[in-house]
Amino acid sequence: MASLGVNPSRTPQGPGPGAASSGFSSPAPVPGPREAEEEEVEEEEELAEIHLCVLWNSGYMGIAYYDTSDSTIHFMPDAPDHESLKLLQRVLDEINPQSVVTSAKQDENMTRFLGKLGKNLTFHFACLPQIGLEISKQRLLSGNYSFIPDSMTATEKILFLSSIIPFDCLLTVRLVLGDKASRRLRFTPIPLLIPSQVRALGGLLKFLGRRRIGVELEDYNVSVPILGFKKFMLTHLVNIDQDTYSVLQIFKSESHPSAYKVASGLKEGLSLFGILNRCRCKWGEKLLRLWFTRPTHDLGELNSRLDVIQFFLLPQNLDMAQMLHRLLGHIKNVPLILKRMKLSHTKVSDWQVLYKTVYGALGLRDACRSLPQSIQLFRDIAQEFSDDLHHIASLIGKVVDFEGSLAENRFTVLPNIDPEIDEKKRRLMGLPSFLTEVARKELENLDSRIPSCSVIYIPLIGFLLSIPRLPFMVEASDFEINGLDFMQLREGLTLHSLSHPFPDQETLLMYQLQCQVLARAAVLTQVLDLASRLDVLLALASAARDYGYSRPRYSPQVLGVRIQNGRHPLMELCARTFVPNSTECGGDKGRVKVITGPNSSGKSIYLKQVGLITFMALVGSFVPAEEAEIGAVDAIFTRIHSCESISLGLSTFMIDLNQVAKAVNNATAQSLVLIDEFGKGTNTVDGLALLAAVLRHWLARGPTCPHIFVATNFLSLVQLQLLPQGPLVQYLTMETCEDGNDLVFFYQVSDLIRSGKPIKPVKDLLKKNQMENCQTLVDKFMKLDLEDPNLDLNIFMSQEVLPAATSIL
Ligand SMILES: Nc1ncnc2c1ncn2[C@@H]1O[C@H](COP(=O)(O)OP(=O)(O)OP(=O)(O)O)[C@@H](O)[C@H]1O
């Protein structure tokens, strides 16, 4: 934009109103790339909304939801759900939607369930014809998706969508007897439609279209941006309820202490998530949160996560880990940029951010190509980050003039892209003297009472003449000037259009570039998915390195868990010296562990440590223990005090009862149950009776009794022998000893008291361990062959000496 004030004989004028003219007034401050990126993140946090559609049909649940933060539809294939709709509850807890769409004709269970949900949810009921199977399918197939290039034919589009969304699925085979003559058997697959899932997707699309989510103010032909469909399954989930997340301090959100950040919500306090979250990008953090909310017993998945962590823990791979971590810093909010492109709202900074992201992704790809392809994630990044990325990068790099765009705060292209644009720019360069000339000529023809005028050029509007508002200009007709159109009155100046603008080829080019990028949106979505995964695993590896975690083993055939010298991941960071403890349950080690000990002897920490180590292993993280073997675990239940009683509006005793009832009703032979101080909220006799009754109930189940850890101060439970004797129950105690008038805590779990053996002070034990470790280390040095050409001293020092040294010190 350019403007010029002229007053050959009269008072000179400044630049025209609102004219951010080049050369005559300084351009409006343009945010630098960093500033611009931060602005995006804030925006994303503020606007993120989730809309969910759920249908429950003959015991099967279909769920689909739209997340505005990544403009993606997530869907869950039909899964059986219990009548109490636990699966749905789990999804709701996890995603916390703003609105829920469901069928107007629903079954009693669903009505009851929805009735109990919080008031800050809005419900929308769709009538049956709107969410019919066929109509939903048609809606899905005819949708306008940015990840499908315009060049695809209708048939290709159907085939492509069917590969992402399983419209039909061959679930079973029917045995058909052959005709008598041939007497052969034939097997015919029966296509089985997945009705609820497709209908839920259809219902969601209908809702999004009708409410115009995210495009409320756009032109009607602009559709809701959908950047992808992602399937999620909750079939291998380990069941963990919200109480458990809170008492084990897996998540802990606190209000942000900074007054400026109150609006942006909560920050993570001291929690497991807090110490493991070293993710470089927002999307990594989001994925880590998702993994935390979905612990799984899918061993393939867990081991593939652990393989990557183990690889990065090798000392020789530390540099590579750091380089990948740096590259991940370039991967920015791609969905937001794609969404803006889809709506043609692309900002100047978006091009720069996208360019950096694509280059970052190419860097990741090249790095991963040099890593062992036996590790799935490296193979995926090496293959899936296709040459489309090169194409996008070279297009942007060749066309976009970053400096010019930032300076002018609008999209500008580099020279030699379009001769017409170059010519226009050349003319614009000479614009100041040209405008002076025009202004002088115009002033000669104006009313003599007008003392001065300016000519402004605004690329998208054209040439404007600006004159000061004079006292006689009162009525609308006073603003009319012969041969000119009156445009607007602004800050005491009147604006009149002099000519029509140049057709803006640069905007046209930007539009074409946008289409090219959108046609390759699939690779960008893939970049985000795989980069987030890499980010999470690098974060977990970094935590494992710093805190000395080890790789857990999974043995589904083994019952219970075995932990060698386990630690509480949070307490070990706060305590001056943390005493590790081992755990064994299942098999011949019994299923019920009753832990007694005086107050503050470490019972609760021990229970939580068992829960946390198991949880970490089920998330695919290394664990704070020397060794851990995790058997089949399908759920973790807890009854441990938290401070939530006020917000729940229930008495502490009622909360106790509710939580234990939940465990009694749901825990299976593969569940872990952690009970701390149950029965304390009422009088001693009643409390003791309740605790004993619950444990006896479980013990009566014999081999299907869950793995239970109970910490209690009710010594009578042991002394009065209220529990049946047998191999299922084991009594443990927290070791302490009296030193004069003081009670000394050893924080060691032991069954010595029951077996009548003397307790050894922990110092002696530690000394003995130290001696053994020293001996092993010396042996290793003695065996070292310094003349061996294959010997790598760096590896020897970092893998053998350093770990041993930390356990000695
Ligand atoms: N293994 C450990 N190593 C070092 N310190 C520990 C250990 N376990 C517990 N502690 C310390 O002891 C304190 C009390 O632990 P905890 O709350 O587990 O005791 P408790 O036996 O459950 O007490 P209460 O019966 O009063 O609930 C902890 O805050 C921590 O400082």
For 470-515, the three-class secondary structure string (H helix, E strand, C coil) is: CCCCCCHHHHCECCEEEEEEECCEEEEECCCCCCCHHHHHHHHHHH
CA–CA dist 302, 556 (Å, integer) = 13
Give the pLDDT score at 496: 61
Q: Is 747 in the pocket of ligand 1 (CB under 6 A)?
A: yes
Give the pLDDT score at 266: 55
- Is residue 254 a contact partner of residue 266, using CB atoms and an 8 Å limit? yes
| Distances in whole angstroms, Cα of residue 214 to Cα of each of 48, 70, 217, 332 | 10, 12, 8, 21
Q: Is 605 in the pocket of ligand 1 (CB under 6 A)?
A: yes
User: What topology does CATH give the domain 2-30+424-458+461-500?
Assistant: MutS, DNA mismatch repair protein; Chain A, domain 3 (1.10.1420)
Q: How far is the CA of 596 from the centre of ligand 1 (A)?
A: 12
Same CATH fold assignment for domains 2-30+424-458+461-500 and 239-255+267-416+510-535 = yes
Q: Is 567 in the pocket of ligand 1 (CB under 6 A)?
A: no
Q: Is 599 in the pocket of ligand 1 (CB under 6 A)?
A: yes
Q: Is 603 in the pocket of ligand 1 (CB under 6 A)?
A: yes
The pTM of this model reads 0.74
Q: How far is the CA of 734 from the centre of ligand 1 (A)?
A: 10
Q: How far is the CA of 638 from the centre of ligand 1 (A)?
A: 18
Break the chain into its structural domains and give their ranges. 2-30+424-458+461-500, 50-212, 239-255+267-416+510-535, 553-759, 761-809
553-759 carries CATH number 3.40.50.300: yes
Q: Whose CA is nearest to atom 5 of ligand 1?
A: 578
Q: Whose CA is nearest to atom 14 of ligand 1?
A: 600
Give the pLDDT score at 764: 58
Q: How far apart are the first and last CA of the chain?
A: 70
Give the pLDDT score at 808: 57
As assigned by CATH, the class of the 239-255+267-416+510-535 domain is mainly alpha
Q: Is 598 in the pocket of ligand 1 (CB under 6 A)?
A: no
Q: Is 736 in the pocket of ligand 1 (CB under 6 A)?
A: no
Per residue, the 3-state secondary structure of 168-212, as one string, reads EEEEEEEEEECCCCCCCEEEEEEEEECHHHHHHHHHHHHHHHHHC
Alpha helices in 343-430 (DSSP H): 348-369, 376-384, 388-399, 402-408, 419-429
416: left (phi over 0), alpha (psi -120 to 50) or beta: left
Q: Whose CA is nearest to atom 28 of ligand 1?
A: 602
Q: Which two tokens stand for residue 12?
A: 């000179």
CB atoms within 10 A of CB 607: 25
Q: Is 597 in the pocket of ligand 1 (CB under 6 A)?
A: yes
Give the pLDDT score at 530: 95
With 0-12 / 13-18 / 19 or more C-beta atoms within 10 angstroms meaning exposed / middle / buried, residue 174 is: exposed
Q: Whose CA is nearest to atom 9 of ligand 1?
A: 602
Q: Is 604 in the pocket of ligand 1 (CB under 6 A)?
A: yes
Give the pLDDT score at 248: 93
| Residue to mutate, 604, 715, 744, ligand 1, most ligand atoms under 8 Å from C-beta | 604
Task: ipTM value, please give it.
Answer: 0.98
As assigned by CATH, the class of the 50-212 domain is alpha beta
Task: Work out whether the CA dihedral 366, 372, 374, 378 comes out positive or negative.
Answer: negative
- Is residue 692 a contact partner of residue 723, using CB atoms and an 8 Å limit? yes
Q: Which residues, listed in sequence order, are joined to residue 166 by a DSSP beta bridge?
A: none
Which portions of the chain are predicted below pLDDT 70? 1-47, 118-119, 168-194, 253-269, 459-460, 491-504, 642-650, 681, 738-741, 743-744, 750-767, 804-809
Q: Is 148 in the pocket of ligand 1 (CB under 6 A)?
A: no
Atom of ligand 1 nearest to the CA of 748: 1
Nearest to 347 by CA among 25, 2, 30, 18: 30
Q: Is 64 in the pocket of ligand 1 (CB under 6 A)?
A: no
